Amino acid sequence: MNAALQLNINSSQILYNILLPCDLPVKNHPFSKAKFILEKTATISSNGTVQSVRGSVVDIHFEKSLPPIYTLLTTGEKGTIAIEVQSHLDMHTVRGIALTPTGGLARGMAVENTGAPLTAPVGKNTLSRMFNVFGQAIDRQPQPEDVEWRSVHQPPPPLSRRTAKSEIFETGIKIIDVLSPLERGGKAGLFGGAGVGKTVLLTEMIHNVVGQQQGVSIFCGIGERCREGEELYSEMKEAGVLPNMAMIFGQMNEPPGSRFRVGYTALTMAEYFRDDEHQDVLLLIDNIFRFIQAGMEVSGMMGLMPSRLGYQPNLGTELAELEERISNTESGAITSIQAVYVPADDLTDPAAVHTFSHLSASIVLSRKRASEGLYPAIDPLQSNSKMATPGIVGERHYAIAQEIRRTIAEYEELKDIIAMLGLEQLSSDDRKVVARARQLERFLTQPFFTTEQFSGIPGKMVSLKDTLDGCERILHDEFKDYPEQAFYMVGTIDEVKKPGKENT
């Protein structure tokens, strides 16, 4: 049985389209306003009635068999409210979470059992388009045709299908490529509190990487600002990279159920390009903490006992269900870059701790470095990558990265002495360490293309080779007579100018 239901959401003027059911992918998904379109003569399984409504939590009574967990139900005066079944309370009652606003819902209303879970559109025609959690186009263009619809609830690839490549994924950002290189087909996290530059850094990585990406790019906005989504869409359109990119948004004004499922929708679309089209996929997520936060809201509304700091008791399981689907297979690779908000800059927060365990590279942004104007405000000592080993990046790269960290760590230890006694009280060797560290810190700053309109400084993209050459020359004291400010916001080391030679 294949049937389609189109929902007209009056409150947001967005059409939510839900495929019913989805045992097999369906092409040419039909659309018709406020009515069922039956492709084959069939009857929908038993319906129910609303028993109670508490915010986004809805209890529904069924006289006959209960719908399975994750089944999508529809209700409301015009069938405009979508509910996902979360638990069975007894032989005749299910509890679900509304994926749409529940305004106007009342006890006794009829509930339609769609007989299928939430689905997402997949196919080449989804590229260059923007969707919501239901797979409905929200870019003021017609719904794409000739697409397939698949359940968003898919198991991760089995171990027998997974592969490991251990290749470096260059970003053109100096401090990342040298100290925390990303893995092609791996997962990288950008950790930071509010206002330290996570979204700016992620946007810059999109600018640098999407144009070079040979496959497909999928951007998933989870619980972030609508303004940022519109700006990103406009920037990608101007840059000419939309033809190989799809965007999925569940913004912060959406109900928690919608924000909790939008990541699954994006992953389902990414898996299609990896498994069916045999292409590499770049999956960008902003912000994975909002996914955890939405799960916390859903857990609380469902009445589960909270764990530490109010997080859901099954935090690790829910995050693993999402993260483990991001993997390499013999068909292709999904490389993921995820922004991770850190509450109160506390890296021991359960959300950050659980996310760390899934990543191959962790890039930590520091509020202290941001206050010093060292952008990108990446902490060189806390950031790390499992790729930074001699066997993968090479002996030279590994040695330079270790020497950079050692130099900056020694400088951090000397800061207290400098604050109390002054730089002049240090030994000659210590003063050289301080000079090298301060030059390195400033050389690893970089002007971004995405901030040109604010800073007035043209953006720079620097290759790994040029970055390694510059750091190596600084460590060898080739620029000991240069002021540290000469290294600030430059690209390659050749752009550093000696005092008095700016106009020569």
Angle ∠(262,266,270) on CA atoms, nearest 5: 165
Q: Active-site residue among 95, 129, 174, 198? A: 198
Catalytic (active site) residue 230: no
Secondary structure (3-state) at 251: coil
Q: What does the block give as tokens for 156?
A: 């991760």
Task: Say how far apart CA 315 and CA 319 lie, in whole Å.
Answer: 6
Q: Which of 223, 257, 17, 25 is nearest to 137 (CA)?
A: 17
Terminal Cα distance for the chain, rounded: 77
Exposure string (b/e) for 292-306, b if CB count within 10 Å is 16 or more?
bbbbbbbbbbeeeee
CB 130 within 8 A of CB 233: yes
Rounded Cα gap, residues 228 and 234, in angstroms? 10
Q: Decide: 183 and 361 in contact? Cβ < 8 Å.
A: yes
CA–CA dist 148, 27 (Å, integer): 5
At residue 142's C-alpha, the angle toward residues 282 and 202, to 5°, is 25
Among 112, 224, 254, 271, the active-site one is 224
Query: Does the annotation count 183 as an active-site position?
Result: no
Q: Which of 78, 124, 184, 225 is catalytic?
A: 225
* Catalytic status, residue 224: yes
Q: Three-state SS for 181?
A: coil
Q: Is 449 helix (H, G, I), strand (E, B) or coil?
A: helix
SS3 83: strand
Q: Catalytic residue positions?
A: 198, 224-225
